[in-house]
Amino acid sequence: MRSIVRPLLCILALALAAGIGMAPADAAGPSLVGSGDSYFPEDGNGGIDVQAYKIADTYDFARGELSGHTTLTVRATQPLTAFDLDLLLPVSAVAIDGAAVAFERPDAHELRIIPSSTIARGRTFRVAVTYDGFPGTVCWDKECDWLADQHEVTTMNEPHMAAWWFPANDTPADAATMDISVTVPAAMKVIANGRQVSRTVAGALATTRWKARNPMAPYLAFFTAGDYTEAKGTRHGLPWLVAVSDQLPAATRASSMRLMKKTPAITAWLSRQLGKYPFETVGGVTTSLDPDFALENQTRPTYPVLRLERTTTVVHELAHQWFGDSVRLSQWRDVWLNEGFATFMEWYWTEKHGGPPAEEHLLDDHAQLSGSFWHTRVDAPGPAHLWDTPVYERGAMTLQALRTKVGDKTFWRILRGWAHVRAGRTATTAQFERYAAKVSHQDLGGFFSAWLDTPSRPAMTAANGLAPIG
Ligand SMILES: [Zn+2]
């Protein structure tokens, strides 16, 4: 995530489908609904691996209506008599490789597609979905994620966002390239992930197309449309583009742009700590809408209005480009691998820019935080507590305690190595624990157990990284 800015410590089924309705998954394969996330059982879908999304959406601000046509390039990971996608808008047509096929809606979240004949395992095919609806009226599993007013729309949320604006295999475990075209009034700008490749005006409307060539998790795909002022450049060969909403008051626009323009320098600093920046471009967008949090959309985080001194929030979202975006979750329960790491990089930035050392932050937190803070299991916070303070703060404490325990040099070998060896792949807490043990040549089982899976305050011991060693 999403770093919480305020108080941080922050259908319509085709009638002909009816008979085939409950087409079962291949008897030997996984179920159609869900990809096995223990917290969000309907997230993702069995039997498919999406390679690419080509999204073409039109948004009508006056009506709050989104109409779209998305083509997914999909590889079958099992023989498919049917498969699901995740989408919360009504669907009018589905085609596979250009031929219309049957579909149905088992529930508001699942779009079940029934090919005219079984798709063989290993085959790659294109599925095109046409949809139209009012995303601002849609809530799912207590999330009402559409963020828009009459002048601006910004798709940013976590753990879910895609299903409000395109059909997806909505799990961070399945990353794919994104090609995003959005049509809105021609006076507006559209900004999305990656690089803008075209803008075509047709009468009163304009279609702006963005492409991101590095695969991304569906929730990290975004677009914003509205009146924006942009700034762009290149630093160390890396193109950057930032933007601030013109809906904001002039003074706020100016300070927001100053903050956004710190993006290339912060990215360069993070690259020195963590290794090469993982993507083709970088940036940031300040929206006038009020999401109450910032989000690490791949290549281009989105921010609410922040005070100029909130540089650490920019550090946090950019650190996520390594931890969360490049190194992805396979299960949401491991979200501390994103949030603890991004929060630790805030602490380290502060240490290197005139603030207190991260070690002091760790010891102060350990002494001062009390009560329920220590009751959260960081490696399994529960689906309702993914964004609670302990996931961020105790997650960061875990890393600083590891730094104290194994020493600065070994610690940075672990962090940099982790970002490198897992780049573009999924990761779990158990994999991180094994990696840290391997690099440090230490048995870290007791250490990680005390910090991550014990619902109480770790004892003040050197073994827990809470006393200087050597
Ligand atoms: Zn975050």
Average pLDDT over every residue of 383-400 = 97
Say yes or no: 248 and 354 in one domain.
no
pLDDT at 11: 24
- Please give the distance, rounded to the nearest whole angstrom, from the Cα atom of residue 296 to the centre of ligand 1: 7
**Distance from residue 3's CA to the centre of ligand 1 (Å):** 4
Mean pLDDT of 271-295: 97
**350 lies in a domain?**
yes
* CATH number of domain containing 298: 3.30.2010.30
Q: Give the per-residue pLDDT at 32.
A: 85
| Nearest partner of 270 among 252, 291, 305, 296, judged by Cα | 296
Distance 343 CA to ligand 1 centre (A): 7
Residue 293: HSE in the Cβ half-sphere, 13 Å Cα cutoff: 19
How many A from CA of 368 to the centre of ligand 1? Answer: 23
Mean pLDDT calculated for residue range 105-130: 97
CA-nearest of 210, 341, 354 to 285 is 210
Q: Are residues 191 and 243 in the same domain?
A: no
State how many domains the chain has: 3
Per the listing, tokens 């391997």 go with: 438
Q: Is residue 293 part of a domain?
A: yes
**Phi, psi torsion values for 201, nearest 5 degrees:** -95, 135
Last residue of a domain, one of 178, 198, 219: 219
Q: What amino acid is encoded at 27 in this protein?
A: A
The answer to whether residue 316 sits within a structural domain is no
pLDDT band at residue 9 under the 50/70/90 scheme = very low
Ligand 1 centre distance from Cα of residue 18 (Å): 43
Which residue do the tokens 């970002």 mark?
A: 419
For residue 6, the model assigns a pLDDT of 39
User: Which pLDDT does position 1 carry in this prediction?
Assistant: 55
Round to whole Å and give the CA distance between 459 and 451.
10
Any idea what the CATH number is for the domain that residue 170 is in?
A: 2.60.40.1730
Q: Indicate if 307 and 402 belong to the same structural domain.
A: no
The answer to the question of residue 321 being in a domain is no
Per-residue pLDDT, 24: 40
Where does residue 240 fall: left (phi above 0), alpha (psi -120 to 50 degrees), or beta otherwise? beta
Going by C-alpha positions, the residue among 368, 371, 427, 365 that lies closest to residue 393 is: 365
Residues 209 and 242 in one domain: no
Among residues 203, 219, 235, which one ends one of the domains? 219
Statement: residue 371 has pLDDT above 80: yes
Rounded to an integer, the average pLDDT of 370-385 is 95
Considering 311, 342, 373, which residue would you say is the last residue of a domain? 311
Q: Domain span at residue 8?
A: 1-219
Q: Which of 15-24, 145-154, 294-303, 340-349 has the lowest mean pLDDT?
A: 15-24
Taking the centre of ligand 1 as the mean of its atom positions, its distance from the CA of residue 229, in whole angstroms, is: 25
Q: Is the pLDDT of residue 38 over 50?
A: yes
Q: Could you tell me if 439 and 377 are in contact, meaning their C-beta atoms sit under 8 angstroms apart?
A: no
What would the 3-class secondary structure string for the chain be? CCEECCCCCCCCCCHHHHHHCCCCCCCCCCCCECCCCCCCCCCCECCEEEEEEEEEEEEECCCCEEEEEEEEEEEECCCECCEEEECCCCEEEEEECCEECEEECCCCCEEEEECCCCECCCCEEEEEEEEEECHHHCCECCECCCCECCCCEECCCCCCCHHHCCCECCCCCCCEEEEEEEEEECCCEEEECCEEEEEEEECCEEEEEEEEEEEECHHHCCEEEECEEEEEEEECCEEEEEEEECCCCHHHHHHHHHHHCCHHHHHHHHHHHHCCCCCCCEEEEECCCCCCEEECCCCCCEECCCCCCCHHHHHHHHHCCCECCCEEECCHHHCHHHHHHHHHHHHHHHHHCCCCCHHHHHHHHHHHCCHHHHHCCCCCCCHHHCCCHHHHHHHHHHHHHHHHHHCHHHHHHHHHHHHHHCCCCEECHHHHHHHHHHHHCCCCHHHHHHHHCCCCCCCCCHHHCCCCCC
> What is the pTM (predicted TM-score) of this model?
0.93
- pLDDT of 467 reads 79
The reported pLDDT for the residue numbered 35 is 87
pLDDT at 469 over 70: no
Rounded to the nearest angstrom, the distance between the alpha carbon of 360 and the centre of ligand 1 is 22
Q: Are 158 and 32 contained in the same domain? A: yes
Average pLDDT over residues 268-290: 98
Same domain, 174 and 260: no
Q: Give tens-digit pLDDT for 205-238.
A: 999 999 999 999 999 999 999 999 999 999 999 9
Q: Tell whether 288 and 362 lie within a shared domain.
A: no
Residue 299: left (phi > 0), alpha (psi -120 to 50), or beta? left
pLDDT interval class at 468 (50, 70, 90): low
Are 106 and 132 in a shared domain? yes
Name the pLDDT band for 2 (thresholds 50, 70, 90). Answer: low
Sign of CA dihedral 293, 199, 130, 298: negative
Q: Indicate whether 11 belongs to any domain.
A: yes
Q: What is the mean pLDDT of the chain?
A: 93
- CB-based contacts of 368, cutoff 8 Å, min separation 6: none
What is the per-residue pLDDT for 31?
A: 72
pLDDT higher than threshold 90 for residue 16: no
Which residue type, as a one-letter code, is found at position 85? L
Q: Is the pLDDT of residue 5 over 60?
A: no
Centre of ligand 1 to C-alpha 395, Å, is 11
Q: What distance in angstroms lies between residue 203's CA and the mean position of ligand 1's atoms?
A: 41
Q: What average pLDDT does this structure show over 348-357?
A: 97
The predicted structure's pLDDT at residue 30 = 54
Other CB atoms within 10 A of residue 85 CB: 28
For residues 261-265, average pLDDT: 98
Residues 160-187: pLDDT tens digits? 999 999 999 999 999 999 999 999 999 9
Give pLDDT, residue 221. Answer: 98
Amino acid at 38: S
Q: How far apart are CA 96 and CA 196, in angstroms?
A: 28
Domain contains 318 = no
- What's the gap in Å between 320 CA and the centre of ligand 1? 7
Q: What percent of the chain has pLDDT over 70?
A: 93
Higher pLDDT, 168 or 32: 168
Distance 295 CA to ligand 1 centre (A): 7
Query: CA torsion sign, 224 to 226 to 231 to 232?
Result: positive
CB atoms within 5 A of ion ligand 1 belong to 1, 3, 339, 342
Q: Give the mean model confidence (pLDDT) for residues 333-343.
A: 98
Each residue of 55-88: pLDDT tens digit? 999 999 999 999 999 999 999 999 999 999 999 9
- Do 207 and 239 share a structural domain? no
What is the Å distance from ligand 1's center to 346 Cα?
A: 10
State the pLDDT at residue 149: 97
Distance 374 CA to ligand 1 centre (A): 20
Q: Does residue 33 fall inside a structural domain?
A: yes
Residue 28 has pLDDT above 70, yes or no: no
| pLDDT tens column, 295-326 | 999 999 999 999 988 999 999 999 999 999 99
Q: What is the CATH number of the domain that holds 384?
A: 1.10.390.10
Residue 274 sits at the vertex; the CA angle it makes with 295 and 432, to the nearest 5 degrees, is 80
Q: What is the mean pLDDT of the segment spanning 123-135? A: 98
